[in-house]
Amino acid sequence: MTEAIIFDMDGVLIDSEPIHFEAMRALLANHGVVYVPGHDDNFYGCTDREVFGALSARYGLQAAEAEMAASWIDRVVELLAGPLEPMAGVPDVLRALRASGVRLALASSSAPAIIAATLAGLGLSDAFELTVSGHEVAHGKPAPDIFVEAARRLDLPREACLVVEDSYNGLQAAIAAGIRCVTVPCPSTRGQDFTGAAIRLDSLAQLPSWMGLPPDSAVGESAR
């Protein structure tokens, strides 16, 4: 029985890839690098420290990785200002799950400032019982650290939890943590391999029905 659901954020609650890409493009342009779509296909679910470590090695960047990561975080937070467009099913699915007694947690590889700005822009600052950032664990996805920590903070056995993810790396992290995972690919991850997922859904709006929640927990218009 699922007692808690641990949600990824980027690609699950919001299609943030265009925002993250624009911040990366502008930042790397200042260092003489032309950054184009497809250069970060393996970065989904990785922490900013891992991303900038890889980029520094790839492009021979001279700037300190921590400094670049901090600049990128600031740019993303600026781009997240104001109301944001949620993915289909948000926030109705979250409300339906809470109404059914399911506990909600967030486990995102993003920095705490990005998590806070995203949730505020979506009107979800109070939607989750707890949040875990990739900055709070030793290794980013596909390592299991962030989901293991989320289950620990929930004080629940991992078999009582369910992860919702949009990426291959996120799915692998959940599998490594021993937690069932539902995948809901976003536009940037639809071509990834989701073998091993409990199910692949086309939209988060399908989650309550898949979980067998009662009809009166059906989501509203914003989920369609």
Say yes or no: 22 and 52 in one domain: yes
> What is the per-residue pLDDT for 41?
56
Say yes or no: 105 and 189 in one domain: yes
Cα 145 to Cα 136: distance, rounded to the nearest angstrom: 9
Say yes or no: 109 and 48 in one domain: no
| End position of a domain, from candidates 26, 46, 79 | 79
Angle at which helices 65-79 and 112-122 cross, to 10°: 10
Say yes or no: 96 and 195 in one domain: yes
Say yes or no: 73 and 173 in one domain: no
Write out the DSSP string of 146-165. Answer: HHHHHHHHHT--GGGEEEEE
Angle at which helices 65-79 and 48-59 cross, to 10°: 120
Cα 118 to Cα 210: distance, rounded to the nearest angstrom: 27
CATH number of the domain at 122, please: 3.40.50.1000
Cβ proximity of 41 and 54 under 8 Å? no
Say yes or no: 128 and 117 in one domain: yes
| End position of a domain, from candidates 79, 104, 132 | 79
Say yes or no: 176 and 155 in one domain: yes
Residue whose tokens read 């959940």: 174
> What is the per-residue pLDDT for 40?
60
Say yes or no: 134 and 68 in one domain: no
Cα 48 to Cα 3: distance, rounded to the nearest angstrom: 31
pLDDT in tens, 27-44: 999 999 998 866 565 688
Say yes or no: 53 and 101 in one domain: no
Say yes or no: 182 and 200 in one domain: yes
> What is the per-residue pLDDT for 224?
36
Say yes or no: 160 and 210 in one domain: yes
| End position of a domain, from candidates 79, 99, 119 | 79
Tell me the pLDDT of the chain (224 aa) as tens digits. Answer: 899 999 999 999 999 989 999 999 999 999 999 988 665 656 887 888 888 888 888 888 888 888 999 999 999 999 999 799 999 999 999 999 999 999 999 999 999 999 999 999 999 999 999 999 999 999 999 999 999 999 999 999 999 999 999 999 999 999 999 999 999 999 989 999 999 999 999 999 999 999 998 765 544 434 33
Number of domains in the chain: 2
CATH number of the domain at 59, please: 1.10.150
34 lies in which domain range? 17-79
Please give the backbone phi and psi of residue 80, each rounded to the nearest 5 degrees, phi first: -90, 0
Say yes or no: 67 and 95 in one domain: no
> What is the per-residue pLDDT for 36?
80
